[in-house]
């Protein structure tokens, strides 16, 4: 379990039984949210290629719409630039990997990692990059294996209850949660999928 705290906000289920809010979003929209399985997987494998830089003579020949499309493509690429590997980020990734190894054979309480600090210091960035590293390692060790979910990532408000956290994990996994479901029901459903999917890291901010 990895947690980021501070002033910042911080098997596949049957699609027919998904939450209404998930049905309202098409697949493309789900890819935009890290707190959905689809969005996290998109983030974990994303490696945007830089756009081709056109020579001046070609740029001069573009009409207004073509130039706008070209500039939009470059701006879109720059909004997804690679994260700088700072000393803090390296420490988080190294410490997190070490803890996951220590937890591999634990038979009781697991070790966790808490990131705390002022807003804007990169807590969430470090956390998601650690998760991305775990995803890459798992894909390399289990190529072509479907059904594995090595990382679960959710966000909850500072005053979240234990049931709210459990529900967010269920939403990430696409599990249906009714208003009448108590926390025990939700946890049992979530833990069952986490075990079957071989989850290595669960993280929340």
Question: For the chain, where are the alpha helices, taking DSSP H only?
Answer: 20-23, 27-30, 37-45, 56-60, 64-78, 87-103, 123-141, 162-173, 183-196
pTM above 0.75, yes or no: no
Is the pLDDT reported for residue 144 higher than 70? yes
pLDDT band for position 42 (50/70/90)? confident
Question: For 55-122, where are the alpha helices, taking DSSP H only?
Answer: 56-60, 64-78, 87-103
H-helix or E-strand spanning residue 3: strand 2-5
Q: Which residues pair with 132 in a beta bridge?
A: none
User: Average pLDDT in the 48-73 region?
Assistant: 88
Closest CA to 153 of 36, 18, 73: 36
* Mean of per-residue pLDDT scores for the chain: 81
pLDDT > 90: percent of the chain: 21
Any idea which residue has 């966000």 for tokens?
A: 155
The conformation of residue 15, written as its DSSP 8-state character, comes to G
* 2/158: higher pLDDT: 158
Spatial CB neighbours of 197, under 8 Å, sequence gap ≥ 6: 11, 147, 148, 149, 173
97-107 residue pLDDT tens = 998 888 888 77
User: Average pLDDT in the 175-181 region?
Assistant: 85
pLDDT value for 189 = 92
Is the pLDDT reported for residue 11 higher than 70? no
49-61 residue pLDDT tens = 788 888 989 988 9
Is the pLDDT reported for residue 116 higher than 80? yes
Task: For residue 40, count other CB atoms closer than 10 A to its CB.
Answer: 24
pLDDT band for position 16 (50/70/90)? very low
């Amino acid at each position: 379990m990895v947690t980021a705290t501070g002033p910042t906000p911080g098997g596949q289920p049957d699609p027919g039984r998904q939450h209404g809010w998930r049905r309202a979003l098409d697949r493309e929209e789900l890819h935009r949210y890290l707190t959905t399985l689809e969005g996290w997987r998109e983030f974990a494998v994303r490696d945007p290629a830089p756009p081709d830089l056109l020579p001046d003579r070609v740029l001069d020949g573009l009409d207004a719409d073509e130039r706008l499309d070209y500039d939009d493509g470059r701006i879109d690429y720059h909004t997804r630039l690679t994260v700088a590997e700072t000393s803090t980020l390296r420490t988080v990734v190294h410490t997190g990997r070490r803890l996951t190894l220590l937890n591999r054979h634990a038979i009781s309480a697991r070790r966790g990692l808490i990131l705390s600090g002022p807003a804007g210091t990169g807590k969430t960035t470090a956390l998601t990059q650690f998760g991305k590293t775990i995803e890459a390692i798992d894909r390399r060790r289990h190529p072509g294996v479907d059904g594995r979910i090595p990382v679960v990532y959710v966000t909850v408000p500072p005053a979240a209850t234990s049931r709210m956290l459990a529900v967010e994990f269920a939403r990430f996994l696409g599990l249906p949660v009714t208003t009448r479901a108590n926390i025990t029901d939700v946890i049992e459903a979530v833990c069952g999928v986490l075990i079957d999917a071989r989850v290595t890291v669960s993280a929340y901010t």
